[in-house]
Amino acid sequence: MDLILQALSHTMTTIAGQRISWIEAFGFVTGALCVWAVARQYSWNWPVGLLNNLAFLALFLGYGLYADAVLQVAFFGLGVYGWIAWSRQGRALGSSVVPIRRATTIEAVAGVAIAGVATCVIAFALNALTDSIVPWPDAFILAFSLLATWGQARKMLEQWWVWIAVDVVSIPLYAYKGLWLTALLYTGFLALCIYGLRSWTRQLRDPQRSVDQDEPIEVIA
């Protein structure tokens, strides 16, 4: 396994003098494909996301982004849950279509409060137990990404707003750590999240419309 990780960590190319490894490139491709698939409401976004989690787990460990590495493990578990949840909802409805919904006030307030407290706890733990030099943004990304993934699994519209906040914090963090391709990826994520928010909002208002025009969207299991 170590030999495989070492091979994947080798430089694939350089961009503006910055080294791009094979594993970062793989994370770029699978990450972009996954977010696009979520915006289109395809359930195969989940297995693609699982591959992305494994890639970034190895990448972040190598760069000392420990909270982000732990996040990938949590993402993997939530990804399995989301895949099952979307499939079950479709079967329960007797259709491949899984409806979008708004978060309730209790869900929204409780979710943000729990994620806020978790950010503080994780940041203090990173300060005390690791050599992280970016504990607060690292902790924020971990806590609020979990909140967003949970909302995504429940098909809540508001999960897009949380992802947008995560992306805004992630882009400068990864650029600071020299992960330029990953920073570029999260810039793409930001654009895709805005697209997903608009598409889901439009369909929530008019369930008969697709993200493009007039064809109903199906969640492809």
Task: Tell me the mean pLDDT per 10 residues along the chain, length 221.
Answer: 46 55 82 87 89 87 76 88 81 63 96 97 90 88 92 92 96 86 86 92 77 39 32
pLDDT of residue 209: 57
pLDDT of residue 219: 38
Nearest CA to 191 among 167, 156, 211?
A: 167
pTM for the whole thing?
0.75
Cα dist. 61→36, 71, 79, 158, 164 in Å?
26, 11, 20, 30, 24
Greatest alpha-carbon span in the chain: 54
pLDDT of residue 220: 36
pLDDT of residue 23: 81
pLDDT of residue 13: 52
pLDDT of residue 19: 58
Look up tokens 């890639």; give the residue.
55
